[in-house]
Structure 1
């Protein structure tokens, strides 16, 4: 292969990787992916390396099975990127954790590819959730070394502002509000409305959680916002220009998140999935009825 072709493929593959990172927020933008990866690196180089390796493994797997369109759009990379992040959030960084990133990222990419081929409902982050739940069960059953619980840095900002920004950053396991601010910047570079949607969804659920009397420490850590951020973005495109569906999805994800906490189950992005699938299917069923009337 000529040198020019190598360079061209390298640039194209780099864009695929970055779109995969952007698709973590359902945004197929390489520009957003660059800043989002930078936000992860701001908090932890370990998380950034795992995220990039997971995206690389998932994208390479997609290309190896001929899913060029999915790889170009980042659809084969984002569950891998999230899986890489999830592994480092579950297991202590070390040879075992790093050795699992590529195979589990490929497993998540395979699951997403199979889902898209057989089901009209988008998989979103379901492959990441299932793979990470399996890892959590294996880690508990085998007594594997677990990741230490990090204490988030407090930049001294207003608590509500920190909660809002952490709600955006926690999509990628980021609890530093400054990293969350970088995530918002990345979304704004990719699609300004995506940044607006993320900020509003996180803020809405922060207010709702406070009004409902949910644990304040969890609210400040952004744990009630990140599922809402994803639900609002996923539902924003179902009926463009209408904000009712994103708001409904965000609030439903908040209620589901609290339910997972009450049951002491690891939620990951399952509340986002359940809320989005429910609201999306209800909206799509209602649309033909409205046109018929």
Structure 2
């Protein structure tokens, strides 16, 4: 295709101009040609100007042929005799009125330039009107499904510039509060702020001072992650908050929570928990591809409780942290006199829900029920496996190991199994096939056995086991990931068990 420039393309009526062969004819034919030429001059009108804007409507599709014909005609006119050219010029000069009716080349060029300027002004005005036209805002229709799971639709609303009327300060505060409550829910793998709010309500009902310590630890650890510029997506998911929550509640529980001096240690150790979590993550996550779980909370709490034995102004609660309270059995019967302990239905049922509350250091079955409800908002599978772990752990401790009924009633031997079943049952493994059910059930039993061994090991120094049995068992089972029929979930793609199953 030939390109069309913005210069004038003038289509002239050249078929009336005689050829050189015709000029070589008889004088009579020349006279006829002159008369015909005069008639053509009288009826001549201004030549149409074809520009780049209207060239498509004036040119034929085959533009190359038109240009060739024009070149041939121009070459023919150039072969006219000089006498004929002078005769034609004289005729144009004789009649001034006719000369005025014929536009010159400069006049056509000025008209074309003015037309181009007018067209460009109209185009710019059209662009400006469309440029500043307000873009229609996307409307989000929220339903009850928007508040379950990880609340991904709510995250899109947070990302809008007009969220909270565009006030940046209010936006940052609101998003920070969202991250804090996600951190409270992440203690039990619930990445949902509503789950964290409901769990916090249950904790406030049981022990409001201990709940506020947990909230303080979560805020401090999350703020520390922001100050140190850690991964923003991890902060938003509450991954830098759950260890601080457990540190605040653990130090307050094993010390004297009524003392206002506990605020200082909670703030210090919550900051340290964020740093330790980052350091352990570089070793376990980047090299072994396994999560550090709550190991940061365990290290920070043990450091403080062990140091409190030497501190002057801080103490530990001797009624809770005593070697006698942490031993499995003080007196062991002889082999021939072995008898099974009697556990009432109330001990078992109350122990099921109390063990769920013991994850947050609360000994109240109603708090455990509220926690289950909060987990159900995020994931029904997580809520189911939390109860499944409480049942299997408590029954194993009672009827397999014969542990005291008071400990069964208090739920002290079920909270680690709760976390183990949640982690293995759909959180870090895809819930597919019967083998994952066997691994989850067997992991719950092994968690109780490890808890008894760690409790006996720490009894001489009077330290609690915390959640270390759950962490150790999950490390062992996560390292066998990749075997047949055990589909592990990548740490970068962890969401909720429902999402893992439908991928």
TM-score (norm 1): 0.90
Name the SS of the counterpart of 2:412 in structure 1: coil
Q: Tell me which of 196, 206, 225 is aligned to 1:33.
A: 196
Task: Classify 1:40/1:289 alpha carbon distance in 2 versus 1 (closer, same or farther; 3 Å).
Answer: closer
- Structure with bigger gyration radius: 2
Counterpart for residue 335 of structure 2: none
Deviations 1:5-50 (Å, cap 9, x if unpaired)?
1221111111100000001112211111011111111111111111
Counterpart for residue 187 of structure 2: 24
Instruction: Tell me how far 1:207 sits from its aligned partner.
Output: 1.3
Matched-pair contact (CA < 8 Å) for 1:124–1:273: yes
Counterpart for residue 281 of structure 1: 479
Matched-pair contact (CA < 8 Å) for 1:79–1:127: yes
Instruction: Tell me how far 1:149 sits from its aligned partner.
Output: 5.3
Deviations 1:155-180 (Å, cap 9, x if unpaired)?
xx922221000111100001111111
Matched-pair contact (CA < 8 Å) for 1:62–1:70: no
Higher relative contact order (CA 8 A, sep 6+): 1
Name the SS of the counterpart of 1:76 in structure 2: coil
Matched, 1:239 2:429: yes
Counterpart for residue 304 of structure 2: 135
Instruction: Tell me how far 1:289 sits from its aligned partner.
Output: 10
Once residues 287 and 76 of structure 1 are traced to their aligned partners in structure 2, the CA distance between those partners, rounded to angstroms, is 33
Instruction: Tell me how far 1:148 sits from its aligned partner.
Output: 7.4
Name the SS of the counterpart of 1:199 in structure 2: helix
Once residues 414 and 382 of structure 2 are traced to their aligned partners in structure 1, the CA distance between those partners, rounded to angstroms, is 15
Once residues 109 and 244 of structure 1 are traced to their aligned partners in structure 2, the CA distance between those partners, rounded to angstroms, is 34
Deviations 1:93-139 (Å, cap 9, x if unpaired)?
32321111111101001111222233222111001001111111111
Matched-pair contact (CA < 8 Å) for 2:347–2:408: no
Instruction: Give the structure with the higher percent helix.
Output: 1
Counterpart for residue 99 of structure 1: 264
Matched-pair contact (CA < 8 Å) for 1:198–1:229: yes
Matched, 1:204 2:373: no
Name the SS of the counterpart of 1:227 in structure 2: helix
Deviations 1:209-248 (Å, cap 9, x if unpaired)?
1212122211111111110111111112233223222222
Once residues 295 and 235 of structure 2 are traced to their aligned partners in structure 1, the CA distance between those partners, rounded to angstroms, is 18
Name the SS of the counterpart of 1:218 in structure 2: helix
Matched, 1:66 2:229: yes
Please, which runs of 5 or more residues in structure 1 have no aligned partner?
A: 151-156
Please, which runs of 5 or more residues in structure 2 have no aligned partner?
A: 1-164, 321-344, 488-503
Once residues 147 and 88 of structure 1 are traced to their aligned partners in structure 2, the CA distance between those partners, rounded to angstroms, is 10
Matched-pair contact (CA < 8 Å) for 2:225–2:274: yes
The alignment covers a number of residue pairs equal to 283
Matched, 1:88 2:285: no
CA-based RMSD of the aligned residues comes to 2.2
Task: Classify 1:198/1:5 alpha carbon distance in 2 versus 1 (closer, same or farther; 3 Å).
Answer: same
TM-score (norm 2): 0.54
Task: Classify 1:149/1:25 alpha carbon distance in 2 versus 1 (closer, same or farther; 3 Å).
Answer: farther
Counterpart for residue 224 of structure 1: 413
Counterpart for residue 49 of structure 1: 212
Q: Tell me which of 239, 242, 248 is aligned to 1:75.
A: 239
Q: Tell me which of 189, 194, 197 is aligned to 2:382.
A: 194
Once residues 65 and 145 of structure 1 are traced to their aligned partners in structure 2, the CA distance between those partners, rounded to angstroms, is 31
Once residues 148 and 185 of structure 1 are traced to their aligned partners in structure 2, the CA distance between those partners, rounded to angstroms, is 34
Task: Classify 1:289/1:98 alpha carbon distance in 2 versus 1 (closer, same or farther; 3 Å).
Answer: closer
Instruction: Tell me how far 1:288 sits from its aligned partner.
Output: 9.4
Q: Tell me which of 261, 267, 270 is aligned to 2:465.
A: 267
